Amino acid sequence: MLKQRIITAAVLLALLLPALVVEPAWPFAALTLLAIAAAGWEWGRLNGAGRWSIPLAIGLAVACIAAFAAGWAGAAPAGVWWLATVVWLVGGFVVLRLGPSDWPRLPAPWRWALGLLILWTGWLALTNAKAQGLDFILSVFAVVWAADICAYFGGRAWGRRKLAPTISPGKSWEGVWSGMAGALVVAAAWLAAEAAIGGPSTSVFALVAARFGWAGMALVVVFLVAMSVVGDLFESLVKRSSGAKDSSGLLPGHGGILDRIDALLPVFPIALALVTAARP
């Protein structure tokens, strides 16, 4: 299993890093489009779409291509990010309150539409973050990755109080606090490195700190980590309601695409909304 995880991670990095580094937008947009379409197929399967799962994935891909053709892949209207933020704040709270047993009681078309909307705005946010520059997109990735890693180790070391036992029994409040602390350390280190290197600072940390100060930046980082937890719990709830351990087996040793991007889906649109607010 570990060997599979390492090989899969190495292949994914070999595909992702060149697409991130090159200046043209289309390689990254195309790569992430394939991933998001696959996630749309997974979402359909988890929510009882059956034979409609592939058409749902195709429809999602067409919507992403239409956004790219309209020029939104690099400069989407700010209203898209605020819409996504509201959907995650309100919808995430409502869904998590419902729990795994009540989720399947919602009409299937509503569940399909919600998932496709989340995935579409997630893809759009990724491509817009790429357009903001390598420093920006990597800094947002760093928030989620640092929170995930520190939450894992912090939860194993100190986890006592369960965060959401009916949704994800392995997660603890101590893990959440550890993830927030780890992300704050990364943010401080990132800003220190940018100051030492000099030149323009375009990370999410620098853009927010320039407008709202260090305290405001710290609050934003904590909020983004909290929303990454919401994204993770949301996908766990959907899997648990369908009796699935993983969203699929597309990534050997890692599960499915949704299993890898669940925490990113709320964070990227919300980060772009907050950066929009931070601009004069």
d(CA 187, CA 218): 8
Predicted local confidence at residue 253, as pLDDT: 77
Q: Is the pLDDT of residue 280 over 80?
A: no
Helices 134-158 + 204-242 axis angle, to 10: 50
State the average pLDDT over residues 142-168: 93
- Residue 6 predicted with pLDDT over 80: no
For 54-63, what is each residue's pLDDT tens digit?
A: 999 999 999 9
Region 130-156 average pLDDT:
94
Model confidence band, residue 226 (pLDDT cutoffs 50, 70, 90): very high
| Euclidean distance between CA atoms 130 and 90, whole angstroms | 27
Helix H or strand E segment including 168: strand 168-172
- The closest of 145, 223, 129, 229 to 190, measured between CA atoms, is 145
Of the spans 16-25, 180-189, 191-200, which averages the highest pLDDT? 180-189
Q: What is the mean pLDDT of residues 228-245?
A: 94
- Report the distance separating Cα 133 and Cα 91, nearest Å: 30
Mean pLDDT for the chain?
92
Average of per-residue pLDDT across 113-118: 95
Nearest to 109 by CA among 49, 54, 58, 36: 49
Q: How confident is the model at residue 2 (pLDDT cuts 50, 70, 90)?
A: low
Q: What is the rounded distance in angstroms from the CA atom of residue 237 to the CA atom of residue 10? A: 29
pLDDT in tens, 168-192: 989 999 999 999 999 999 999 999 9
Q: Supply the pLDDT for residue 271.
A: 96
DSSP at 153: H
Q: Which residue has the tokens 């059956």?
A: 50
Q: What is the pTM of this model?
A: 0.94
pLDDT at 277 over 80: no
Q: At 219, is the pLDDT very low, low, confident or very high (cuts 50, 70, 90)? A: very high
